[in-house]
Amino acid sequence: MPLSRGVIPIRPVTAGAPAGGALADAILAEIASALHEYLDTRQNHVIDLTGMPLSREDRQRIDAYLGQGEVSMDIHALVHSHIEETAYAGVWRVRHYDMGGGVHSERIEIIDVPEIVRASSADMAHSARRIEALRAEEGA
Amino acid sequence: MTDETIRDVLTRRGLSRRAFLQVCASVTAALALSPAEAADMTKRLETAERPTVIYLSYQECTGCLESLTRSFSPGIASLIFNDISLAYNDTLQAAAGQAAETAKDTAMKNAWGKYVLVVDGSVPLAQNGAYCAVAGRSAVSDLKRAAGGAAAVVAVGTCAAFGGLPYAAPNPTGAVPVSEIVRDRPVINISGCPPIAEVITGVILYYTTFGVPALDHLHRPMNFYGNTIHDRCYRRPFYDRGMFAKTFDDEGARQGWCLFELGCKGPITHNACPTTKWNGGTSYPIESGHPCLGCSEPGFWDKGGFYKALSTPTGHWSRTGVVSGAVAAGVAAGLSTAAVARARQGRAQKKAASADSEPKNPTS
Ligand code: SF4
């Protein structure tokens, strides 16, 4: 038996998070106005949840409000990113995981397709060069 | 040598723009930037030159470097710092002796006038600086020379920022902080014993893209040091209700009540621990059941005992104007300490705004 359990009784309790879900309501309002803004001006909007002091209730409310939509995607680049559309078209949840599997960035994006999903022209040019090199090699 | 951009380095390593955007998301989240600032930062990072960082150590314990390189799984920030920008560091390099000195000279010469000089450790002045010497040169003369070619100096850790442990009474080596030696260029203090790794790398990247960040009255970046631990502490509701743990193993301690009476210095300590947390976002000391020691504030070791409540008269706190009687009246004290913190924050912000004409990044 580990010494600590035998000698010192350890009874971990989960610390209570501050009550209230006021932030969740504010975020929902922000999403609604960002959708209008996007339709009018094509200006995308990002709400970064990472550093927000969200209570457990806030999180539950955000999850319940946003629900799940039709699309989900995974990116395996430098780190793993998981992207899913919410029940609202054009409202996305984007989570970037660190190398240990924890979430190091969590955001809500209001845009048609999150920017990180699109293949960039530079990467596509690089792909073309790689395919040409491969063909040259095979032909040689 | 430094004409490459951060994006170029990633491309050279076969990483896509998506990887670059993951880097940007990590950095902007760590810096708690607004959406507009974050978009601006992504745009700037695309074309920003790879920063050159020269890291020198004086009177220190290497805890800051440990924090930076070891305490979290290889994260994006450490990748940027270690693999992309670090041009010289005494402790991490394989070279020794003359080869090491030559490497340092070359790194400085290649980016003279442009590099970010990171210093950890205080600088002893007693006995003509004889208490700390590297390659036959005293720390003070070494620092003056290296600062001569730096665009900005980042003092990492409480030793470099405020003198730290060597500065503790009776300060036998005559230790002083970096800001007392370097007076002719921006010095950014990233205090903490040690500071949070993400804060160190975040500030360097911020500097690369935007220049010197807004600083508080102790020259610490407002993004990370604008709030007290107490402002953002999840045990705060217990403080406000006057529910305090009295010993480390009583019912209050088990229930996660406020640690004020066990000596918590959270109400007067400015740092990002409750939000950024430690070890890749795992937790922070109060979350592990230990009161805050106040390690990011000047003179934290000389303040009369880590386990004495702030309200206990010790004779050591006269300079800081601590609210007393908080134990008896938790709610009132909660309001007043928060008010003190906010007033200080307001002052610092005003000061930062008026100092907005600080030199911007010379490399962009
Ligand atoms: S005194 Fe310390 S433990 Fe209590 S609420 Fe403030 S920071 Fe948290």
ipTM value of the model? 0.76
Report the DSSP beta bridge partners of residue A103.
A97
- Residue B353's alpha-carbon distances to B212, B213, B347, B349, in angstroms, are 12, 10, 10, 6
- Does residue B63 belong to the interface with chain A, where contact is any CB pair within 8 Å? no
Q: What is the mean pLDDT of residues A95-122?
A: 87
- Residue B109's alpha-carbon distances to B1, B54, B103, in angstroms, are 11, 11, 10
| Residue-level pLDDT at B312 | 65
**Dist CA B295 CA B301 (whole Å):** 8
Q: A122 is written with which tokens? A: 């530079």
Q: Which residues of A touch B284 (CB under 8 A)?
A: none
| Amino acid residing at A32 | A
CATH code (residue A53): 3.30.1370.140
Q: Tell which B residues from 317 to 346 touch A, by Cβ distance under 8 Å.
A: none
Tell me if A132 is assigned to some domain: no
- Cβ pair A17:B23 closer than 8 A: no
| Residue-level pLDDT at B75 | 57
Q: Which residues of A touch B250 (CB under 8 A)?
A: none
Distance from CA of A69 to the nearest CA of B (A): 23
**Which CATH topology does B6-225 take?**
Rossmann fold (3.40.50)
Give residue A30's Cα distance to chain centre.
17
CA-CA-CA-CA torsion sign (A20, A22, A25, A27) = negative
Tell me if A8 is assigned to some domain: no
Tell me if A3 is assigned to some domain: no
- CA-angle at A62, arms to A58 and A64, nearest 5°: 115
| Residue-level pLDDT at B175 | 97
Write down the mean pLDDT value for chain A. Answer: 84
Q: Please give all residues whose beta carbon lies within 6 A of any atom in ligand 1, as ranges.
A: B 229-230, 233, 235-236, 239, 258-260, 264, 266-267, 286, 292
- Cβ pair B237:A16 closer than 8 A: yes
Tell me if A124 is assigned to some domain: no
Task: Name the residue among B148, B107, B331 with its Cα closest to residue B240.
Answer: B331
Q: A139 is written with which tokens? A: 């032909």
Q: B141 is written with which tokens? A: 């003369």
Distinct helix (H) and strand (E) counts, chain B:
15, 9
From the options 2.40.30.20, 4.10.480.10, 3.50.50.60, 1.10.3720.10, give the CATH code of B227-364.
4.10.480.10
DSSP for A19-68? P--HHHHHHHHHHHHHHHHHHHH---EEEE-TT----HHHHHHHHHHH--
Give the distance (Å) from ligand 1 centre to CA of residue A50: 22
| Residue-level pLDDT at B319 | 35
Task: Name the residue among B173, B174, B108, B176 with its Cα closest to residue B147.
Answer: B108
- Does residue B110 belong to the interface with chain A, where contact is any CB pair within 8 Å? no
- Of A13, A46, A51, which has the smallest distance from its Cβ to B254's Cβ? A13
Q: What is the mean pLDDT of residues A57-70?
A: 92
- Cβ pair A79:B256 closer than 8 A: no
Q: Where exactly are the structural domains of chain B?
A: 6-225, 227-364
Tell me if A56 is assigned to some domain: yes
Give the distance (Å) from ligand 1 centre to CA of residue B297: 16
Q: A90 is written with which tokens? A: 């054009």
Q: B66 is written with which tokens? A: 């440990």
Tell me if A105 is assigned to some domain: yes
- Under DSSP, the state recorded for B85 is I
A20-57 tens-digit pLDDT: 677 888 999 999 999 999 999 999 999 988 777 777 88
Number of domains in chain A: 1
Please give the model's pTM, rounded to 2 decimal places. 0.75
| Residue-level pLDDT at A78 | 81
**Dist CA A18 CA B237 (whole Å):** 7
- Cβ pair A50:B16 closer than 8 A: no
C-beta contacts of A27-34 below 8 A and 24+ residues apart: A27/A62, A27/A108, A28/A62, A28/A65, A31/A88, A31/A91, A31/A108, A31/A110, A34/A110
**In the predicted structure, residue A2 carries a pLDDT above the cut 60:** no
- Residue B102's alpha-carbon distances to B85, B96, B97, B291, B295, in angstroms, are 19, 10, 9, 45, 36
- Close Cβ partners of B134 (under 8 Å, ≥ 6 residues apart): B58, B90, B142
Residues in chain B where the model's pLDDT stays below 70: 1-3, 70-84, 312-364
Q: Tell which B residues from 75 to 94 touch A, by Cβ distance under 8 Å.
A: 75-76, 79
| Residue-level pLDDT at A140 | 66
**Dist CA A109 CA B173 (whole Å):** 54
Residue of A nearest to B16 (CA): A123
Tell me if A131 is assigned to some domain: no
Tell me if A27 is assigned to some domain: yes
Give the distance (Å) from ligand 1 centre to CA of residue B345: 18
Cβ–Cβ < 8 Å for B186, B212:
yes
Q: Quote the domain boundaries for residue A94.
A: 22-113
**Dist CA B109 CA B54 (whole Å):** 11
Instruction: Reduce the DSSP state of residue B97 to 3 states and report it.
Output: helix
Q: Tell which A residues from 87 to 106 touch B, by Cβ distance under 8 Å.
A: 94, 96, 98-100, 102-106
- Residue B215: phi and psi, rounded to 5, are -115, 155
